[in-house]
């Protein structure tokens, strides 16, 4: 066979392609060419057939698709740390909204989104679906950090520096949808803030825009018990039923949070082919409640994972978020077999990609897809011994173990941890002690 | 004033002494001498009065007491990763117990505890209260890593490589209590495994040993709903009531897990001056349930935090555990004002120290106490901008941000993260962007 030339070859101890689900390949390599995955094959075969400008060898590394953060407010990195432990409404009215009021501008959104993008990039996020004012500035900041992103054609029933009236929000939403309709590295979602902050008329208009542009609907839904009760009081129905009547519950809906769901709500989402975005840290910290993830998975609803913004989380850490999602789902269901390692790693990658209707391009390591790839080092003392790489990626390794993040074949972030211990112990000596006991099993 | 000489001076941007609670000192320094904290004072004053062999300057660092892991099974680091997603009994009977059966020996416990100790040390744990077979080997391994520790005078109603019969367990427990009774860097707890695995007669004997040696009682209590139901079936009372009758519910009790507590149980623990150890990751991952932390705190029960073992967690990450504890307590209570930042950081340090009756020596940065100190860097992109150092230590920084860990004045671990981003952005330039917006608030 003639030798072929690639841009990058990544040789890894383990490859977790996500599709097919549940598979961990050993000693495989990824061949990246022109921003895409050309091949996933045993390293020996790749070495025989390919050369590359750059060969990255990861003898202790696990390679997987980049994480898809299905719900962020990236610019809110700049208001991180404000108002811990306050009641929700005090937190919003005395801290977050005044801060946003003072700072809001295209520059604020661009620079905040850039910092958030760097935080996400070094922790293995390659795509984020953002939801905020000045979405074109968010796109600039996130692209400056190297991320792929979906930004929000945003509407809310309150005046802001971005728009004053429903009509103005919708005009700007239309601009955003037009700007990003051709795809590429930035796409747009139709993003009415929440059922309780957007009027029926505007929601109906959002449904039309979503259909016209074939754009996902990115919306906070059923986040709190109060929101559900208020909707019954004000509209006579639960928020999801109202959204259904207005034409928003379909396979383009990304129902963010979805904490307070009854069985009928779950059945409605499943029948519609809708997606949910689970943000467990935010739901816990804001005392919103517990999303029934095991029930949603069992009903066949597509589940993605999101970090929410740094004001309510305060980490844009998709690996940590997914770990918590898995653990919490087990406790909520009272069943350790719920929310398996492979289901949850799928949610954090393909789940998000499918919700964004971007799964033809991203979410798994399959030839032809974009080269959005991350590498995680499993040789640290936190992950030893490696008896189940996928489980230990999720449960033992943290985002600090992400060593490389590629988006469309470009290496956008690298990270390395150096440690020393009393007695100057080498990393290799720790690994060999762990391996000794592992080999006795 | 005459210049005095110290072993180490740590100059920090922020000092979180834990006692007094809720205080963050700015631009203060710690003076360490002969393994103890000699002084906590403004850096300018310390510079005027002191010299030292080693001056550690941390212009972006927060310094706080080392974290006290109130419940570990350190050697189980060597069985990490086994049996993810199995039902609890299958996990134990097909994975964990057979693995322990094959490997159990003094060498296994020492080496596993050593690896766990290194993991804990680099993540800011300075003391761990361990619970396992071959506790003298656990002490050796943990001390080799540099940690202070309490080890378990362990009893369980099943034969093991450590002991075969109740009598033999009690003999060995007595040996352990004698060995470590003089204090120093290793202490002992009386550690009956759990109410459902230890007989009345042995529990009564444990109560006597605890009293005689003034040693804490380190025991899994009310971890699962099944355990409570079984006790009512077999003993006619809930486990805590049985323990009370046998003399174990007093101010030496560390009731580990304490998931399934009714109001009477909480009142009993509070009246006795007992402590609980909260292990939220383990409780979620094993689908045990949700400990009522807000109620325990409100009742005045001393709460500490523990990681449990790597088999069920799988991170010995006290900062992450405490973060989850805080968030989860809010969601369980339905109240964002529960489990405040300062309450939870207290739990992770002084809470553990008090439970171990070791708070005269460790748990806070007070002159005269042991120099068990950690430093956390808050200049990474994950923590910017620093608007509330204590909140951001808990919620935004991870264990990877721990840069230095001192135990009794000895630097046992250091850690440093190096990052690069596309465009070769300097860390300073990120900090200045974040600071620009922070200064506008």
Q: How far apart are CA A317 and CA A321, in angstroms?
A: 6
Determine the pLDDT at residue B88.
83
Q: What is the mean pLDDT of chain A?
A: 97
Query: How are beta strands A4-15 and B373-377 bridged, if at all?
Result: unpaired
CB contact (8 A) between residue B87 and residue A334: no
Closest residue by Cα to residue A147 from A124, A164, A177, A168: A124
Q: What is the mean pLDDT of residues B394-417?
A: 97
CB contact (8 A) between residue B102 and residue A440: yes
Residue of A nearest to B91 (CA): A336
Q: How many Å is the Cα radius of gyration of chain A?
A: 22
Q: What is the mean pLDDT of residues B235-252?
A: 98
Closest residue by Cα to residue B381 from A145, A401, A306: A145
A99, A102, A395: residue with CB nearest B314: A395
Q: How far apart are the first and last CA of chain A?
A: 42
Give residues with Cβ within 8 angstroms of B205, minimum separation 6: B170
Q: How far apart are CA B33 and CA B363, in angstroms?
A: 17
Of A203-212, A421-430, B123-132, B225-234, which range is least confident? A421-430
Q: What is the mean pLDDT of residues A141-148?
A: 98
- Residue B426's alpha-carbon distances to B96, B380, B398, in angstroms, are 46, 11, 21
- Residue B339's alpha-carbon distances to A69, A405, B266, B348, in angstroms, are 28, 36, 17, 12
Determine the pLDDT at residue B375.
98
* CATH, range B67-355: 3.20.20.140
- Best of A77, A84, A280, A384 to disrupt the B interface (most B CBs within 10 Å) is A84
Determine the pLDDT at residue A381.
95
Q: How far apart are CA B331 and CA B310, in angstroms?
A: 25
Residue of A nearest to B329 (CA): A284
Considering only CB atoms, which chain B residues are within 8 Å of A417? 400, 415-418
- A347 close to A340: Cβ distance less than 8 angstroms: no
- H or E element that contains A231: helix A225-235
Domain ranges of chain B: 4-65+364-414, 67-355
Residue B362 DSSP one-character state:
S
- Name the 3-class secondary structure at B274: coil
Considering only CB atoms, which chain A residues are within 8 Å of B433? 111, 114-115
Query: HEC profile for B48-79?
Result: HHEEEEEEEEEEEEEEEECEEEEEECHHHHHH
Give the Cβ contact number of residue A5 at 10 Å: 10
Is the pLDDT at B136 greater than 80, yes or no?
yes
Asked whether the ipTM of the predicted complex exceeds the cut of 0.95, the reply is: yes
Q: pLDDT for A41-91, tens place per residue?
A: 999 999 999 999 999 999 999 999 999 999 999 999 999 999 999 988 899
**Scanning the structure block, which residue is given the tokens 């399934």?**
B260
What is the token pair recorded at A201?
A: 């008329």
* CATH, range A4-65+364-414: 2.30.40.10
- Strand ranges for B3-130 from DSSP E: 4-15, 25-33, 36-42, 50-65, 67-72, 125-130
**Scanning the structure block, which residue is given the tokens 């103890």?**
B36
3-state helix, strand, coil in chain A (%, to 5): 40, 25, 35
What is the token pair recorded at A353?
A: 């990609």
Residue of A nearest to B314 (CA): A396
Give residues with Cβ within 8 angstroms of A244, minimum separation 6: A268, A272
Of A406-415, B58-67, B86-95, B204-213, which range is least confident? B86-95
At residue A381, φ and ψ (nearest 5 deg) are -60, -20
CB contact (8 A) between residue A414 and residue B413: no
What is the token pair recorded at B231?
A: 């006790």
Q: How far apart are CA B35 and CA B402, in angstroms?
A: 20
Give the Cβ contact number of residue A107 at 10 Å: 14
Q: pLDDT for A289-325, tens place per residue?
A: 999 999 999 999 999 999 999 999 999 999 999 999 9
CB contact (8 A) between residue A80 and residue B385: yes
For the range A89-93, what are the long-range contacts, defined as Cβ-Cβ under 8 Å and sequence gap of 24 or more?
A: A91/B336
Q: What is the mean pLDDT of chain B?
A: 97
Q: How far apart are CA A364 and CA A347, in angstroms?
A: 11
pLDDT, greater one: A2 or B432? B432
CB contact (8 A) between residue B415 and residue A414: no
Q: How far apart are CA A233 and CA B184, in angstroms?
A: 64
Q: What is the mean pLDDT of residues A233-260?
A: 98
Considering only CB atoms, which chain A residues are within 8 Å of B327? 281, 284-285
Is the pLDDT at B183 greater than 90, yes or no?
no
Burial B49-85 (b: 16+ CB within 10 A, else e): ebebeeebebebbbbbbbbbbbbbbbbbbbbbbbbbb
* Residue B79 C-alpha, separation from nearest chain A C-alpha, in angstroms: 8
**Hey, CA dihedral for A310, A314, A319, A321, is it positive or negative?**
negative
What is the token pair recorded at A347?
A: 């949610």
Q: pLDDT for B11-29, tens place per residue?
A: 999 999 999 999 999 999 9
Query: How are beta strands A275-278 and A253-257 bridged, if at all?
Result: parallel
pLDDT band at A1 (very low <50, low <70, confident <90, very high): low
- Name the 3-class secondary structure at B305: strand
Q: pLDDT for A82-128, tens place per residue?
A: 999 998 889 999 999 999 999 999 999 999 999 999 999 999 999 99
Q: How far apart are CA B338 and CA B91, in angstroms?
A: 34
Determine the pLDDT at residue B1.
62
- H or E element that contains B232: helix B225-235
**Scanning the structure block, which residue is given the tokens 């990658």?**
A349
Give the Cβ contact number of residue B382 at 10 Å: 28
Q: What is the mean pLDDT of residues B346-352?
A: 98
Considering only CB atoms, which chain A residues are within 8 Å of B391? 81, 84-85, 314
Q: How far apart are CA B214 and CA B216, in angstroms?
A: 7
Determine the pLDDT at residue A424.
86
Is the pLDDT at A191 greater than 90, yes or no?
yes
């Amino acid at each position: 066979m003639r030798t072929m030339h690639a841009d990058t070859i990544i040789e890894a101890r383990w490859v977790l392609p996500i599709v097919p689900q549940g598979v961990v390949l050993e000693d495989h390599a990824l061949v990246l060419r022109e921003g895409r995955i050309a091949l996933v094959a045993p390293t020996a075969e790749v070495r025989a057939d390919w050369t590359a400008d750059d060969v990255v060898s990861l003898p202790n590394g696990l390679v997987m698709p980049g994480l898809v953060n299905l719900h962020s407010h990236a610019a809110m990195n700049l208001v991180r740390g404000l108002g811990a432990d306050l009641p929700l409404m005090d937190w919003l009215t005395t801290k977050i909204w005044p801060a946003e009021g003072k700072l809001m501008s295209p520059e604020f959104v661009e620079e905040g989104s850039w910092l958030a993008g760097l935080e996400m990039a070094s922790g293995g996020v390659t795509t984020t679906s953002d939801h905020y004012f000045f979405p074109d500035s968010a796109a600039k900041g996130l692209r400056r950090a190297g991320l792929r992103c979906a930004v929000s054609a945003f509407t809310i029933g309150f005046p802001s520096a971005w728009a004053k009236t429903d009509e103005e929000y919708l005009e700007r939403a239309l601009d955003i949808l037009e700007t990003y309709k051709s795809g590429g590295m930035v796409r747009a979602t139709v993003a009415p803030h929440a059922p309780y902050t957007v009027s029926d008329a505007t929601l109906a208009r959002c449904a039309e825009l979503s259909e016209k542009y074939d754009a996902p609907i990115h919306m906070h839904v059923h986040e709190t018990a109060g929101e559900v009760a208020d909707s019954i009081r004000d509209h006579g129905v639960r928020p999801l039923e109202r959204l259904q009547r207005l034409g928003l519950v379909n396979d383009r809906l990304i129902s963010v949070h979805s904490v307070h769901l009854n069985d009928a709500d779950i059945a409605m989402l499943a029948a519609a082919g809708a997606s949910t975005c689970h943000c467990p840290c935010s739901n816990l910290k804001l005392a919103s409640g517990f999303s029934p993830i095991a029930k949603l998975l069992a009903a066949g609803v597509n589940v993605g994972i999101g970090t929410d913004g740094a004001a309510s989380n305060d980490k844009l850490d998709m690996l940590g978020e997914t770990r918590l999602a898995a653990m919490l789902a087990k406790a909520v269901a009272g069943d350790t077999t719920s929310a398996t390692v492979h289901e949850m790693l799928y949610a954090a990658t393909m789940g998000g990609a499918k919700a964004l209707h971007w799964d033809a391009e991203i979410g798994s390591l399959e030839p032809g897809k974009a080269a959005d790839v991350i590498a995680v080092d499993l040789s640290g003392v936190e992950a030893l011994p490696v008896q189940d790489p996928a489980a230990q990626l999720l449960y033992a390794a943290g985002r600090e173990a992400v060593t490389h993040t590629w988006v469309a074949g470009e290496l956008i972030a690298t990270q390395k941890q150096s440690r020393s211990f009393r007695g100057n112990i080498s990393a290799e000596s720790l690994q060999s002690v762990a391996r000794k006991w592992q080999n006795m099993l």
